[in-house]
Structure 1
Amino acid sequence: MRLIHTSLFVAVAALGLSACNKQPENAADTVAPATPAEATAATTPAEAPPPMTGPTAAAGATAVAELAPTQGNETKGSVSFKLVDGRVHVTGQVSGLKPGSEHGFHIHEKGDCSAPDGASAGGHFNPGTQDHGSVASDPHHGGDMPNITANAEGVATIDAPVSTNVNIGKGDDFDIIGRGLIVHADADDYKTQPTGNAGARLACAVIKAP
């Protein structure tokens, strides 16, 4: 009789162990371990969007130029360029001029003031290959700007428009960054080609991003 009871106990224990080790038949009940790629994706933060470039980035751009006298002259000044109503505008002051005198004031093609007379700045900035003229009418160079006039102390205050086809900071052929800036000895007549008969160069600067 004791042998029968022992056999029954062994059989029941075997059935219970078999039931515990049985895998669930429904695949949904089984959670597979994450792969290395899934684990990396879960712990890596999303990348930030790239910074905006192109015209939108240049919309609020500004530029500056520090005019230094050419050899034998005393003309100098600080000038800023910025966008006003979508158009490049120039402001600043130039000193060391003859009282009441009028002077041509242009952006030139090269940002190079190494020559004693400023000739290294090249000719007028003219990316649109237009004739020289007044910025208030067509045609005119991209670097054409209104004359500046000195007051009784020989200081000219600048607040004027620049050609509509130039920009600040877009990096194309019409960008004024890296160009030259010249104050001439005489007034620009807005008609004589290619420089308006504005004479020698009193001061030169390189236009730069601030």
Structure 2
Amino acid sequence: MAADSAASLTLDSTATAGASTGVTAKVVDAGGRELGVLTLADAGAAISVDGTLRGLPPGVHGMHIHAVGRCDAPDFASAGPHWSPTPKQHGSTNQAGPHHGDLMNLTVGADSSVVVKMSTPAGSLRGENPLLDADGAAIVIHATADDYKTDPSGNSGARIACGVASGS
């Protein structure tokens, strides 16, 4: 499935006047099934990620912001590496980390849903070293838990869901 039809991003029309406009990323699985929408917004010196996802496998999953705004199924490798505009390694417990795109693990309930409310360790949508650069970005959910230390992706397994973000 092409990235354009697999996942998309729209401007968040609920942003207040004068505030940085947020963006939303429609998250899909490898079959193209929509799992929900996540909203990304500037939150001080970080980016908040909020929303609800349904249809993921129950259990703990790594989630990261990746450097390229492409979600080509089935493996989502087109999303590239984690977003890291500074020379850091992966993981909040890695002495050389973390990447700007490192996020906390998701714990998906038995009903296959999860409410997402977290933020990146650093970064901004459009400020210095912006997330929304010329090739955009993607949110990727992995098959297993992130160990928060192993570079480059925390041993979090295959990419099982993805949502595109771009700087429009």
TM range (shorter): 0.7 to 0.9
* Separation in 1, partners of 2:85, 2:110: 36
* Separation in 1, partners of 2:142, 2:37: 16
- For structure 2, the 5+ residue unaligned runs are 1-16
1:146 aligns with 2:104: yes
Give a deviation string over 1:65-94, Cα, whole Å, max 9, x none. 0011114x8672210011334532110112
Pick aligned residue for 2:131 from 167, 175, 194: 175
| Higher percent of residues as strand | 2
| Higher percent of residues as helix | 1
* Separation in 2, partners of 1:134, 1:86: 16
* Separation in 2, partners of 1:92, 1:134: 23
User: Following superposition of structure 1 onto structure 2, how do residues 34-183 of structure 1 map, counting pairs within 5 Å?
Assistant: 59-71=19-31, 76-99=35-58, 101-134=59-92, 139-164=97-122, 166-170=123-127, 173-176=129-132, 178-183=136-141
* SS state at 2:74 partner: coil
- For structure 1, the 5+ residue unaligned runs are 1-56
* Separation in 1, partners of 2:109, 2:154: 22
Give a deviation string over 1:136-163, Cα, whole Å, max 9, x none. x972001101111112211011001112
* Separation in 2, partners of 1:208, 1:58: 20
Shift of the alpha carbon at 1:207? 1.1
- Rg larger in 1 or in 2? 1
Shift of the alpha carbon at 1:64? 1.1
1:58 and 1:168 in contact (8 A); partners too:
no
Normalized against structure 1, the TM-score is what?
0.63
Pick aligned residue for 2:154 from 196, 201, 205: 196
What is the total number of aligned residue pairs between the two structures?
Answer: 150
1:67 and 1:76 in contact (8 A); partners too:
yes
Rate the CA distance shift 1:138–1:70 in 2: closer, same or farther, 3 A: same
* Separation in 1, partners of 2:83, 2:154: 14
* Separation in 2, partners of 1:138, 1:146: 17
Shift of the alpha carbon at 1:175? 2.3
| Percentage of pairs with the same residue | 35
